Amino acid sequence: MFRIGCHISASGGYLAMGRRIDALGGNTFAFFTRNPRGGAAKDIDPADVDAFLAFCREKDIDRIVAHAPYTLNPCAEKENVREFALNTFADDLRRMEHTPGQYYNFHPGSHVGQGIEVGIAKIAEVLDQVLFPGMTTTVLLETMAGKGSEVGGRFEELRAVMDRVTLSDKLGVCLDTCHVWDAGYDIVNDLDGVLTAFDKAVGLDRLKAVHLNNTKNDLGAAKDRHEKLPDGKLPLEAIRRIVTHPVLEKLPFILETPNDEAGYAAEIALVWQLHG
Ligand code: FE
Ligand code: FE
Ligand code: ZN
């Protein structure tokens, strides 16, 4: 089953998200577990979740990729920032169990001058504290553009984090097409080469989701600025190769392009058409 969707506002609750993505023509989606800049999450309404799960079964909506807030930095130097990351992560993973078997995606973080090794160790430490036996959610580390001191611009860095985590079978990777391009992986001219590099470094069995974005930047710019699918540096033909690639087409594709809802509906339709 090919799956395409986009970011949906969580402000109306779960059933509203399901209805929204269905109306936009998608069959998977992403949402922020709380305000992207942090803060408390809304209380879960069990009746709303039940109605949502029934709706998803009826419409075959699945492989939801929840997104942690951007401010969550598990390798921050400041103790209070790491404390926030730890508490938010743990709370989000408890909440995710209301919708069993889905994905929770996070940015590995920025080490801000502490060095990549310290960054990797700190991220793994947080994961060791928040993952729990019996959890049904898979936690996804997102591939990053390598902007500033971001961890995760190289596939090997993601692997290094995963290797240090005790319950590493709960971990996977979400590949962001804007980020990997900005990080220097040429998915336009050598998609197979990039996937081979991923396989060597991490293992393709760990690849669970794709953030499907175009980019405003040149290859290797290390900048991270998303663009609408038909615009930007990745030609539509390259996007077609991505969504039809035998390894990738089994994964949920999530648009994080700069769009309003009408724009998302149009891009979802475009991706269905590209996939054929
Ligand atoms: Fe992200
Ligand atoms: Fe992303
Ligand atoms: Zn981004």
Q: Hey, is 252 helix, strand or coil? A: strand
Q: How far apart are the CA of 50 and the centre of ligand 3, in A?
A: 32
Q: What is the pLDDT of residue 37?
A: 74
Residue 137 clears pLDDT 80, i.e. is over it = yes
User: What is the secondary structure of 87-140 as a DSSP string?
Assistant: HHHHHHHHHHTTSTT-EEEE---B-TTS-HHHHHHHHHHHHHHH--TT--PEEE
CA distance 21 to 2: 15
DSSP string, 20-70: HHHHTT-S--EEESS-TT--PPPPP-HHHHHHHHHHHHHHT----EEE--T
- For residue 8, the CA-to-ligand 1 centroid distance in Å is 14
Q: What percent of the chain has pLDDT over 70?
A: 100
pTM of the predicted model as reported, rounded to 2 decimal places: 0.97
Distance from residue 204's CA to the centre of ligand 1 (Å):
20
- Compute the distance from residue 107 Cα to the ligand 1 centre, in Å: 6
Say if residues 106 and 173 touch (Cβ distance below 8 Å): no
Query: Residue 43: pLDDT above 80?
Result: yes
Among all bound ligands, the one having the nearest atom to the CA of 72 is 1
| pLDDT confidence bin for 193, thresholds 50/70/90 | very high
Q: Which domains are present in the chain?
A: 3-275 (3.20.20.150)
Q: How far is the CA of 147 from the centre of ligand 3 (A)?
A: 10
Mean pLDDT of 92-101: 97
